[in-house]
Amino acid sequence: MMKATFLIAASLTLAGCGATTSNTSMYSVHQPVVERTNYVIDLASDGNGIASADQNRLNEWFDALGLGYGDRISIDNGDGYSSTEAANFVAAAAAKRGMLITNTAPTTPGAIASGNIRVVVTRSQASVPSCPDWSTTSDSNFNTANHSNHGCATNSNLAAMVADPEDLVRGRESGRLDRNSGKAAVTTYKTKTGGN
């Protein structure tokens, strides 16, 4: 009787060591998270386009942001009163940097003054905030579970390498190849590197 009591107590002690939450599937609990940040600038319209001082501000702002692949530029007219010349100037400034204007602007805080336009640059970044996870040890795994750090390397590398983090959110339409975006990427690369 004494031996049986000792074995039960020993097994309960060992079971208590592996009582932490465990992942027994082959999937990682650490998945990439995509965060969006909106950068905003309001520009004054003089009726014939954008005021000359704000033209310089816009170009300097674009340069400071270092626009790149995956960034989305949109124009919010607010009350819709601003001129199409102003929107055309923004589109031309974006085109010089190999960027296109998207059709819809995200909602941003604050009112847009009458006659002004708001330029919004939306930038997404992917990361795996829960990694690394060394909360469990590998020597006391009695549930045939994965280590707490399982999947961190793969998913962190995926988040770091994906060209457009938005692809992790909704992917791309299958069967459609956008030749213009590929051409724009090659043109931008050649311009920056001085290639032919």
Neighbours of 131 (CB within 10 A): 18
Map residue 120 onto helix, strand or coil: strand
Q: In this predicted model, what pLDDT tens digit does every residue of 123-174 receive, in sequence order? A: 999 999 989 988 877 667 677 778 888 889 999 999 988 888 888 888 777 6
| Mean pLDDT (whole number) for 10-36 | 67
73-91 in b/e burial notation, b at 16+ Cβ within 10 A? bbbbbbeeebbeebbebbb
Q: Give whichever of 36-40, 52-56, 140-144, 179-183 has the largest mean pLDDT.
A: 36-40
pLDDT higher for 50 or 47? 50
Q: In this predicted model, what pLDDT tens digit does every residue of 10-21 receive, in sequence order? A: 434 444 444 446
* Beta sheet of 72-76, edge-to-edge order: 33-43, 117-127, 72-76
Q: Please tell me the pTM assigned to this model.
A: 0.66
Flag the least confident range among 75-79, 88-92, 123-127, 177-181: 177-181
Burial of 70 (0-12, 13-18, 19+ CB in 10 A): middle
Spatial distance between the Cα atoms of 84 and 90, rounded to a whole number of angstroms: 10
Question: Residue 59 has what pLDDT?
Answer: 92
Question: Residue 15 has what pLDDT?
Answer: 42
Question: Residue 16 has what pLDDT?
Answer: 43
| Mean pLDDT (whole number) for 66-70 | 87
Average confidence score pLDDT of the chain? 78
| Mean pLDDT (whole number) for 71-83 | 77
Q: pLDDT-derived band of residue 58, with 50, 70 and 90 as boundaries?
A: very high
Backbone angles phi, psi at 18, to 5 degrees: -100, 25
Residues with Cβ within 8 Å of 69's Cβ and at least 6 positions away in sequence, in order, are 163, 164, 185, 188
- Please report, rounded to a whole number, the percentage of residues in the chain having pLDDT higher than 70: 74
DSSP 112: P
Question: Residue 135 has what pLDDT?
Answer: 85
Check if the beta carbon of residue 45 is closer than 8 Å to that of residue 82.
yes
The two structure tokens encoding residue 182: 């590929």
